[in-house]
Amino acid sequence: MLNSLALPDDLTPYPHSSVWINGRLAVLDKIVEGTEAARSSFEEETFRFIRAWLSGDQSFDMTTSGSTGPPKSIRLSRSQMLQSALLTAHQIKLQKSTTALLCIDPRYIGGRMMIVRSLVLGLRLLAVEPTANPLIRIPVDRCPQLTALVPYQVQSILESKHPHLLNHLDKVLIGGAQLQPSVREKLQRYQCECYETYGMTETVSHIALRLANTPRKQQYFETLPGVDISLDDRGCLVIAADHLPDTVVTNDIVELVAPGTFEWLGRWDNVINSGGIKISPETVERRLAAIFLQRNFNHRFFIAALPDEKLGNKAVLILEGVHFSSEILQQSLEQLSAELSPYEVPREVYFTETFSSTETQKIDRKQTMSSITLVLTR
């Protein structure tokens, strides 16, 4: 199947002599020689991986994010990364004339695969430091057509003074966490194709995509060619793929809608046992996010567990930000009570000024819980 893609193979020389990074051109030969000076840790890691790939390294060490258990070291082969790049190119119809932007951390799989796609497919590569809104750092004459963003960056771009910059792009890969319904709704105003991705280090980037906007938007994730999915006895996703040597068993609870099609429901390791009732925080979050969207309540939040003498654990709501409407919050929770069981509705509300984040810009739930203040008991 991969051979039918009519794309460059791993032996095709990269057609560009330089990489535009943080406002300057870095000469490719100097990067490979190790004589191109890096001006930041981001540049150093970007140059290191480019040098390793173009020097023909056959394996690359990575650290997993914890999707299949505690974070651990893993070694990915050159062949696996090559095949993953070709799968993406086939699925979203990448052209050789595309300019690609790297603006996420190249130490992790999402960033590294943006580099691999560029080098393997012959895309012109731009790179800027990962920031909340990296698009404002790109000159008009160097507009990229493809990039990968985390949800935090997407939200920051949409809330900035320059959200129109999204329409300078043709395709955006969004990964690392789930998009909030309010963000997904705002994306409907833009014509660039924004793909929510499902994947992890163990699967060598994404193995499924969901188009989040445009008239062709999709309700469910659909797997890439050569990927087979099933469920284990917990209801968690099991992945087998042509480019993976072993089956990957995840901790992600999903619903299989049709062959190769699924809905992500939540994390098995986040499930709250409250009075013997199992609660999926992500399910509650989705219902509450829809209610907040109706009421234009735009604070970030998540559902967590705290100890309870009677129930063992209770569900609580954690809000980001100091200034919020208590009346809207109360009304929202009352509406939620009419839609969910009493165990699922948060019994207390806490806030913190700013959520802690992981290095990949996911909300660090555990760290955030260390600095919360009680504001409401129901």
pTM (2 d.p.): 0.88
- Cα of 292 vs its chain's centroid, Å: 22
Q: Is the pLDDT of residue 160 over 90?
A: yes
Cα angle vertex 241, ends 359, 196, to 5°? Answer: 45
Residue 66 pLDDT level (bands cut at 50, 70, 90): low
Question: Percentage of the chain with pLDDT > 90?
Answer: 83
d(C-alpha 248, C-alpha 246), whole Å? 6
Query: Nearest 5°: phi and psi at 257?
Result: -85, -40
CATH code for 2-267? 3.40.50.12780
How does pLDDT run across 200-222, given as a tens digit for each residue?
Answer: 999 999 999 999 999 999 999 99
* Model pLDDT, residue 361: 74
Residue 10: which residues within 8 A CB-CB, separation 6 or more?
78, 82, 120
Quick one: which of 22, 307, 18, 12 has its CA closest to 137?
22
Q: How many CB atoms lie within 10 A of CB 197?
A: 18
Nearest to 299 by CA among 351, 344, 334, 338: 351
Q: pLDDT tens for residues 293-342?
A: 999 998 899 999 999 989 999 999 999 987 888 899 999 999 999 999 99
User: Three-state DSSP class for 54?
Assistant: helix
pLDDT band for position 362 (cuts 50, 70, 90): confident
Q: What is the CATH number that goes with domain 271-377?
A: 3.30.300.30
3-class state of residue 52 by DSSP? helix
Q: Which two tokens stand for residue 28?
A: 């490719």
Please report the pLDDT score of residue 288 as a whole number.
95
Q: Where in the chain is the domain with CATH 3.30.300.30?
A: 271-377
- Phi, psi dihedrals of residue 315, rounded to the nearest 5°: -80, 135
Q: Can you name the residues that pair with 20 across neighbouring β-strands?
A: 25, 126
- Maximum C-alpha span of the chain: 66
pLDDT of residue 12: 67
With both helix axes pointing from N to C terminus, report the angle between 78-92 and 109-121 in degrees, rounded to the nearest 10. 80
Residue 143 has pLDDT above 50, yes or no: yes
Residues linked to residue 25 through DSSP beta bridges, in sequence order: 20
Lowest mean pLDDT among 7-16, 24-33, 89-98: 7-16
Q: Mean per-residue pLDDT for 49-71? A: 85
- CATH 3.40.50.12780 residue window(s) in the chain: 2-267
Name the pairing type of β-strands 99-102 and 146-149.
parallel
Average pLDDT over residues 361-367: 86
Closest by CA to 304, choosing from 291, 288, 292, 321, is: 288
Q: Which two tokens stand for residue 3?
A: 């051979």
| Number of residues written out for the chain | 378
Q: How far is CA 167 from CA 95, 134, 171, 205, 266, in A?
A: 18, 14, 9, 25, 31
The chain-wide mean pLDDT, for the chain, equals 92
What pLDDT sits at residue 11?
A: 53
pLDDT at 180 over 50: yes
- Segment 347-362 shows an average pLDDT of 88
Task: Locate 94 and state its tokens.
Answer: 């990448």
Among 91-105, 163-177, 223-237, 354-368, name the one with the lowest average pLDDT.
Answer: 354-368
pLDDT score for 254: 97
Contact assessment for residue 200 and residue 187, using Cβ atoms and an 8 Å cutoff: no
Break the chain down into helix, strand, coil percent, rounded to 5: 30, 30, 35
